[in-house]
Amino acid sequence: MSDAALSLPPADSLFRRNLRDFRRNRLAMASLVVVLVFVVMAVAAPLIAPQDPNETDLFRRLQPPGWMAGGDWAFPFGCDALGRDILSRIIYGARISIFIGLAVIVLATGVGIAAGLAAGYFRGWVDVVISRIVDILLGFPYLIFAIGLMAMMGPGLLNIVLALAYKEWVIPCRVVRGETLAVRELEYVEAARALGAGPRHIMGREILPNILSPVIVVSTIRMAHVIILEASLSFLGLGVQPPTASWGSMVSDGRAFILEAWWVSTFPGLAILLLVLAINVASQGLRDAFDPRFSE
């Protein structure tokens, strides 16, 4: 242990070694592939989707999946109550889930890093103000907070992103603040200060690169949560408005027909499960490789 600490390898090779650790983790790599498949699906939805996701046809109402009696392989996962193709709607729904997940995480991580760095580096009243805001936001249950905001702002894609990001930034902020507090006293930061570097240089160039890996790990884990939250909002009817396809609202649509048409809510739910599970497993692999403090 002490030998390893004495001859610390340069940052670049540490990064590469971590990357190699990650690549060796087969389960995590497989999950990463699943995530990428979903991303490709979302980006290329118009090219991949076999049908128009919003085309209704009451003759196809609650048509079963392709392999069941009365099914048609042109609509492999069957049709919903308005006769829309479920597979195509899942493919288009991936756009919503992934877009909202990414947008919320990028926004929240950006804000969280800035606020966390400021709180941890300047301390004093800056820290007090930011930490109080964080505490207050933590005082609200997440979904309820988002529902309250959605009720105020009204539905819409941008509003969902905002409603979730309003609270989500707290999480990277706390991580960054804690790490900054620990790192700001280390010798190399002292050295930079002694050389006359300003706070912006120290925060951006000296501290940030050294605390980035836990932040990235936390952000990827949180992305899975955000996707579930968006689906929950859509399920409650507070998310993306119809007829736009979203996995949460698709599950909700099918709820009325669970007696006669199980496929309507089963497949979109499976899609959520698969994507969220893949993100979770991949991000845990990332954590084990890049932030060994937390690995078990």
Partner 1 sequence: MSLPGFWFGILLIMLFAVHLQILPVSGRIGYDNEVAAITGFLLIDTLLAGDIAAFGDTLRHLILPAITLGLPMTAILMRVTRTSMLEVLRQDYVTFAEAKGLPRRRVLFRHALKNALIPTVSVAAIETGSLLGGNMIVETVFGWPGLGRLVVESIFLRNYPLVQAAVLLYAVTYVLLNFVADILYTVLNPRVKL
* Position 1 contacts partner 1 (CB under 8 A): no
The answer to the question of residue 252 lying near partner 1 (CB under 8 A) is yes
**Residue 140 is a binding residue for partner 1 (CB under 8 A):** yes
Using the rule CB under 8 A, give the single segment among 39-47, 113-121, 169-177, 271-279 that binds partner 1.
271-279
Shortest distance in whole angstroms from residue 59 CB to partner 1: 26
Q: Which is nearer to partner 1, 104 or 189 (CB)?
A: 104
Asked whether position 255 contacts partner 1 by CB under 8 A, the answer is yes
Nearest distance in Å: CB 26, partner 1? 19
Three-class HEC string of the chain = CHHHHHCCCCHHHHHHHHHHHHHHCHHHHHHHHHHHHHHHHHHCHHHHCCCCCCCCCHHHCCCCCCCCCCCCCCCCCCECCCCCEHHHHHHHHHHHHHHHHHHHHHHHHHHHHHHHHHHHHHCHHHHHHHHHHHHHHHCCCHHHHHHHHHHHHCCCHHHHHHHHHHHHCHHHHHHHHHHHHHHCCCHHHHHHHHCCCCHHHHHHHHHHHHHHHHHHHHHHHHHHHHHHHHHHHHHCCCCCCCCCCCHHHHHHHHHHHCCCCCHHHHHHHHHHHHHHHHHHHHHHHHHHHHCHHHCC
Listed ranges 7-15, 63-71, 88-96, 276-284: which one lies at the site for partner 1 (CB under 8 A): 276-284
Contact map string, positions 193 to 232, toward partner 1, x by CB under 8 A: -------------------------------x---x--xx
Nearest to 254 by CA among 57, 89, 74, 91: 89
Binding segment (CB under 8 A) for partner 1, from list 19-27, 58-66, 191-199, 260-268: 260-268
Q: Is position 147 an interface residue for partner 1 (rule: CB under 8 A)?
A: yes
Q: Which residue has the tokens 């884990």?
A: 221
Q: Which is nearer to partner 1, 115 or 271 (CB)?
A: 271
State the nearest-atom distance from the C-beta of 144 to partner 1, in Å: 5
Q: Site for partner 1 (CB under 8 A): which residue of 22, 265, 286, 288?
A: 265
Q: Which residues bind partner 1 (CB under 8 A)?
A: 138-145, 147-148, 150-152, 224, 228, 231-232, 235-238, 248, 251-252, 254-255, 258-259, 262, 265-266, 269, 272-273, 276-277, 280, 296
